[in-house]
Amino acid sequence: MVERLTAEARKTALKELSGWTEVAGRDAIERTFVFKDFNEAFGFMGRAALVAEKSDHHPEWRNVYKTVEVVLSTHDAGGVTQRDIELAKAMNAIAAQLGHG
The dihedral formed by the CA atoms of 49, 53, 55 and 61, expressed in degrees to the nearest 10: 50
Q: Which of 46, 75, 93, 97 binds ligand H2B (CB under 6 A)?
A: 75
Minimum Å gap between C-beta 3 and ligand H2B is: 13
Sequence-separated (6 or more) residues with CB below 8 Å from residue 60: 70, 71, 72, 73
Rounded least distance, CB 55 to ligand H2B, Å: 9
Per CB under 6 A, the segment of 10-18, 40-48, 74-82, 91-99 that binds ligand H2B is: 74-82
In the complex, the residues that contact ligand H2B under the rule CB under 6 A are: 56-58, 74-76
